[in-house]
Amino acid sequence: MSEFRKVGAGEAWKSKFPEHVVVATTVDKKGRPNAITLGWMMPTSNQPPMLAISVGLTRYSHQLLEECGEFVVAFPDESAEDQMLFCGSKSGRDFDDKLKACGWETEEAEIVAPPLLKNCVANFECKVAGTLLTGDHTIFAGEIVSAHISKKSQDRLYNFGSGVFKSISSEI
């Protein structure tokens, strides 16, 4: 008798929670910023420091990542939940400035054109170093060219599934 029950991949994926939440910023050709909420991000290299994000082919951010070749990955804290949900449900195609539309304050990055996001535990400035098409998403590997940690935000937001987002420390 097997310990396991065979299910579709979608059903098995429900066991992945809690999953971290990140937000990646990009800019268009005129320098206007956009932001996309992502669950699919991972560190990939220590030397040089690198990470990878997986972005759906239909996302506006996919187009901007191909155009500008730079992005910032930010780890939002609990106070940024509403803005994170906005960036994860509305497309930048429908706004002049998606970050202004949801009231998410930014700071200029040190090296890349996309901005840093406030109310985030950390921000990583990245330059696209390579891409890999994986089904309906593209993996963008980014070399981290500058990194910043917050002087005030401590607890990053996690996705607990079923629309529940909170920090781990608020659980303990």
User: Site residues (CB under 6 A) for ligand FMN?
Assistant: 21, 34, 36-40, 54-56, 59-61, 88-92, 98, 137, 159
CB burial class (10 A; 0-12, 13-18, 19+) of residue 103?
exposed
Q: Which residues, at least 6 apart from 122, have a Cβ–Cβ distance to it below 8 Å? A: 74, 75, 147, 148, 149, 150, 156
Is residue 32 within 8 Å of residue 94, measured between CB atoms? no
Residue 152: CB minimum distance to ligand FMN, A: 23
Nearest to ligand FMN of 60, 71 (CB atom): 60
Q: 3-state class of 72 per DSSP?
A: strand
Nearest to ligand FMN of 42, 110 (CB atom): 42
Nearest to ligand FMN of 60, 124 (CB atom): 60
Residue showing the smallest CB distance to ligand FMN in the complex: 88
Residue 6: CB minimum distance to ligand FMN, A: 26
- One-letter amino acid at 133 equals L
Residue 53: CB minimum distance to ligand FMN, A: 7
